[in-house]
Amino acid sequence: MPTEAAGKPLPEPTRDSKPYWDGLNEGRLLLQQCAACRKIRHYPRPVCDACYSMEVAWIEASGRGCVHSWTVAHHPFHPGFKEELPYIVAIVDLEEGVRMNAQMRGVTPGEMRIGLPVRVAFERTKEGLTLPAFVRAP
Amino acid sequence: MALKERGAITGIGETAYSKNSGKSVVALQMQASLEAIADAGLSPTDIDGVIVYGPSGVVAEDFVTNFGIPDLRFSATTPMGGASAVAAVQCAIAVIVSGVCRHVLIPLGRNGASGSRIGARVREMPQFRVVGEFEMPVGAIAPAQLYAPMARRHMELYGTTSRQFGEIAVATRRHAALHGNAIMTAPMTLEDHHASRMIADPLRLFDCSLESDGAAAIVVSAAERARDLARRPVYVMGVAEGHPDSPSVISQRPDLTTLGLAKAAPRAFAMAGVGPGDIDVAEIYDCFTYTVLCEIEDLGFCRKGEGGPFVEGGATALGGRLPVNTHGGLLSQAHMAGLNHVVELVRQLRGAGGATQVPDAEIGLVTGYGDMGDGSVAVMRRG
């Protein structure tokens, strides 16, 4: 559950997700992989839905993907994001076959399209947290 | 199929809808419930089951206390957000058919406008735990922002337009203006819709539902008992709930343009023994205009991707090929998380729809949509 410290909703990593957040802090995008059947899954969770193994490995993702869909936020639903409006939140198909969402950097709403190649970036927040973002891939 | 034609809606009640009720949520729910129970010709002590709406904070024990119910035999909640109300109908009939209960009360009420707003509340709810950890921190906070990528994907894949969303908003507003118990009654045109400010692209202000105060309630009874009660019964022919793949996180769903309703609708229609072509009136959960368009497809009124053309030309307005949300829905009547849709369908099938009555409505359906895509649907007929 997010907390409201420093104005923005901050993640509270769980025992299942802590390696993901630790990875971001080190500038690496880590994904869970089932240690038994090798299926990659996201967001982090305790059980593989293919073989029900609870043994987890973590792999470093390439960080490359393409846009699956997006929205442009205009209304200030949360005071912590008011200064950033309007901003784009993209859902991205990662090369590893899972999706994640994060804000787009350096792209205008008019340039957004399904399939737009992107790569992950890492942004240090003033709260000392690292969040993922996406930039257009070359 | 054990639930087919076994339950009926025997009583309905509603408070006035407003932006500031001046009453407690408990009082609102009691008022609507007393009206529904009296409408059925029952006494409050006849109620032996209550299915509450969890987020409202009102619990089954409040009804025991306020009504002096001597022996409540069943209490539950169906935690599916806006799909809860119709899912509660399925739950109620199941406990009636199994012999646990005779008359189940389903109340729902909130001070959604004068109290805390939905966008603030979702962050506290356990079903949003995963988006709370991974998506809200990057700025996908409110339902409009989380749902907008579904609409955007539909537009990109199928050529669906904002103007087609506007068709739904305009038809719904027209019904609200005629209904008599609706909050938003000022006339709306497609141009008004287009001019409304962007909230979460592609969703504009007039694509979004209201926050409102009020309460609704229904009584569900065994079909064989319903004939002896005060009102012409409305029988539940088929009912089902469905949960989409990746039910709690839209971004991970294999197909962003399909909802849990796509799983529930074939089961409900099969149970009812009718199809989309038999539906005279449809009360379709409308937290956003796009949701209605997608549900129309998932219900089978048209194929996936054809919802945009389907709703054009006032097709969902009274007199159109499928009258939808004859009460004004969540978009223009009030946001009672879809129990107001159930109340309205019953009114239509009683022939008591007043200025928005669909002539000779015999069979109708009502849907729910909740949280990140849970769905529920009931097909009903007049008795």
Stretch B83-111: mean pLDDT: 97
Q: Do A71 and B152 touch (CB under 8 A)?
A: yes
Stretch B276-293: mean pLDDT: 98
Q: How many whole angstroms separate alpha carbon A52 and alpha carbon A22?
A: 25
Q: What is the pLDDT of residue A126?
A: 83
| A119: β partners | A64, A135
Instruction: Kindly state whether A97 is in contact with chain B, defined as any CB-CB distance less than 8 angstroms.
Output: no
CB B360 within 8 A of CB B329: no
pLDDT digits (tens, 9 = 90+) for B299-351: 999 999 999 999 999 999 999 999 999 999 999 999 999 999 999 999 999 99
Which residues of chain B are within 8 Å of residue A89 when distances are taken between CB atoms? Answer: 135, 138-140, 145, 149
Nearest by CB to residue B251, choosing from A8, A17, A91, is: A91
CA distance B35 to chain A (A): 36
Q: Which of A68, A75, A83 is nearest to B208 (CA)?
A: A75
β-strands B74-77, B49-52: how paired? parallel
Q: Do A89 and B145 touch (CB under 8 A)?
A: yes
Instruction: Kindly state whether A99 is in contact with chain B, defined as any CB-CB distance less than 8 angstroms.
Output: yes
Please provide the DSSP assignment of B257-271 as one string.
T--THHHHHHHHHHH
CA distance B247 to chain A (A): 13
Q: What is the pLDDT of residue B345?
A: 98
Q: Which of A39, A72, A54 is nearest to B148 (CA)?
A: A72
pTM score: 0.97
Residue B350 sits at φ, ψ, to 5 deg, of: -85, -10
Among all residues of chain B, which has the CA nearest to that of A92?
Answer: B251
Among all residues of chain A, which has the CA nearest to that of B250?
Answer: A91
Domain ranges of chain A: 10-136
Q: What is the pLDDT of residue B258?
A: 97
Which residues of chain B are within 8 Å of residue A73 when distances are taken between CB atoms? Answer: 139-140, 145, 200-201
Q: What is the pLDDT of residue A5?
A: 42
Would you say the C-alpha torsion B323, B237, B182, B331 has a positive or negative sign?
negative
Question: Rg of chain B's alpha carbons, rounded to an integer?
Answer: 19
Stretch B137-153: mean pLDDT: 96
Q: How many CB atoms lie within 10 A of CB B137?
A: 23
**Residue percentage of chain B with pLDDT more than 70:** 98
Which residues of chain B are within 8 Å of residue A13 when distances are taken between CB atoms? Answer: 133
Residue B120 has pLDDT above 90, yes or no: no
Instruction: Kindly state whether A26 is in contact with chain B, defined as any CB-CB distance less than 8 angstroms.
Output: no
Residue B122 has pLDDT above 90, yes or no: no
Q: Do A101 and B251 touch (CB under 8 A)?
A: yes
Nearest by CB to residue A101, choosing from B135, B198, B200, is: B135
Task: Specify the 3-state DSSP secondary structure of B27.
Answer: helix
Q: What's the CATH number of domain B7-115+209-382, 3.40.47.10, 1.10.8.100, 3.60.40.10, 2.60.40.10?
A: 3.40.47.10
Residue B45 has pLDDT above 50, yes or no: yes
Residue identified by tokens 């929205």 is: A71
Which residues of chain A are within 8 Å of residue B199 when distances are taken between CB atoms? Answer: 74-75
Looking at per-residue pLDDT, the higher value among B103 and A3 belongs to: B103
CA distance A138 to chain B (A): 23
Domain ranges of chain B: 7-115+209-382
Chains A, B: CB contacts within 8 A come to: 120
Nearest by CB to residue B132, choosing from A2, A98, A109, is: A2
Among all residues of chain B, which has the CA nearest to that of A68?
Answer: B153
Q: Which CATH class is domain A10-136?
A: mainly beta
β-strands B374-382, B234-242: how paired? antiparallel
CA distance B100 to chain A (A): 36
pLDDT digits (tens, 9 = 90+) for A11-67: 989 999 999 999 999 999 999 999 999 999 999 999 999 999 999 999 999 999 999
Q: Do B119 and A77 touch (CB under 8 A)?
A: yes
Which residues of chain A are within 8 Å of residue B250 when distances are taken between CB atoms? Answer: 91
Residue identified by tokens 């735990």 is: B129
CB B327 within 8 A of CB B214: no
List alpha helices for B180-260, DSSP H: 190-195, 223-226
Q: What is the pLDDT of residue A7?
A: 78
Residue B360 has pLDDT above 50, yes or no: yes
pLDDT digits (tens, 9 = 90+) for A55-110: 999 999 999 999 999 999 999 999 999 999 999 999 999 999 999 999 999 999 99
Q: Do B200 and A91 touch (CB under 8 A)?
A: no
Task: Specify the 3-state DSSP secondary structure of B324.
Answer: strand
pLDDT digits (tens, 9 = 90+) for B154-204: 999 999 999 999 999 999 999 999 999 999 999 999 999 999 999 999 999
Q: What is the pLDDT of residue B28?
A: 98
Query: What pLDDT band is residue B126 in, cutting at 50, 70 and 90?
Result: confident
pLDDT digits (tens, 9 = 90+) for B221-245: 999 999 999 899 999 999 999 999 9
Residue B285 has pLDDT above 50, yes or no: yes
Strand A56-60's sheet: what is its strand order?
A: A40-41, A30-34, A56-60
Percentages helix, strand, coil for chain B, rounded to the nearest 5?
A: 45, 20, 35
3-state helix/strand/coil string of B163-174? HHHHHHHHHHHH
Q: How many CB atoms lie within 10 A of CB A98?
A: 19
Which residues of chain A are within 8 Å of residue B144 when distances are taken between CB atoms? Answer: 75, 77
Query: What pLDDT band is residue B22 in, cutting at 50, 70 and 90?
Result: very high
Q: Do A2 and B142 touch (CB under 8 A)?
A: no
CA distance A83 to chain B (A): 12
Least confident of B62-66, B118-122, B377-381: B118-122
Stretch B232-261: mean pLDDT: 97
Among all residues of chain B, which has the CA nearest to that of A21?
Answer: B134
Residue B119 has pLDDT above 70, yes or no: no
Q: What is the pLDDT of residue A6?
A: 46
Q: Do A74 and B153 touch (CB under 8 A)?
A: no
